[in-house]
Amino acid sequence: MLEFLRLFSEVSGPKILVHGGGKGASEMTTNLGIAPQMVNGRRITDAATLDIVTMFYAGKTNKQVVAGLQKLGVNALGLSGADGNVIHAVKRSVREIDYGFVGDLDETSINVRLIHQFLELGLTPVFCPINHDGHGQLLNTNADTIAASLAKALSQQYAVELHFCFEKTEC
């Protein structure tokens, strides 16, 4: 992760980082006695799993990324979608599979105005995959989905480049 953060810190201009951490979240749930449930690479997020992934993504992982960026001179701000109402989601409907507390995004999910303010202040938002439904319920949304939704929403104001980086691939 350190090499990735170093490379990210060298990108000039306004930037946003969205992180996942599914492998670490699965390891943590297993260590706490809850077997991860996955369907087609997507996490089933029951109430107990939501508690754990919220701690892992919004706490441990997010703050490690922010601290790493601060070390490299990037003034990073760690966020979940619930912070500042910056990403609003809708709980995924049950179809063939009940994914539990998983959020889906639409064209109104991203608070572009607030993100613009962060960027204007010289802050680099670092988003974890936790957001909310506006009714007090936290939701887990795939980090790739969040990154794509942010890129699309911000493309109205910025020239956007979206780069996906994964644990086992180079960016």
Q: Which of 125, 132, 139, 154 lies closest to 65, judged by CA? A: 125
CATH ID of 2-8+58-154, from 3.30.479.30, 2.60.34.10, 3.40.1160.10, 2.40.240.10: 3.40.1160.10
- pLDDT reading at 168 higher than 80: no
pLDDT tens figures, 43-58: 999 999 999 999 999 9
pLDDT at 75: 98
CA–chain centroid gap for 37, Å, is: 20
pLDDT tens figures, 95-142: 999 999 999 999 999 999 999 999 999 999 999 999 999 999 999 999
- Domain boundaries, given as residue ranges, for the chain: 2-8+58-154
Q: Where are the beta strands (DSSP E) in the chain?
A: 17-18, 38-39, 42-43, 76-79, 90-91, 103-104, 124-127, 130-132, 138-140
- pLDDT category, 167, cuts 50, 70, 90? low
Q: Which of 61, 58, 47 lies closest to 130, judged by CA? A: 58
Per-residue buried b or exposed e for 73-85, using 16+ beta carbons within 10 Å of the residue's own CB: ebebebbbbbbee
In contact, 131 and 141? CB cutoff 8 Å: yes
pLDDT tens figures, 67-97: 999 999 999 999 999 999 999 999 999 999 9
Cα–Cα distances in angstroms (integers) from residue 154 to residues 20, 48, 67, 159, 169, in the given order? 20, 33, 25, 8, 26
Beta-bridge mates of residue 107:
none
Q: What is the SS3 assignment for 46?
A: coil
pLDDT at 166: 72
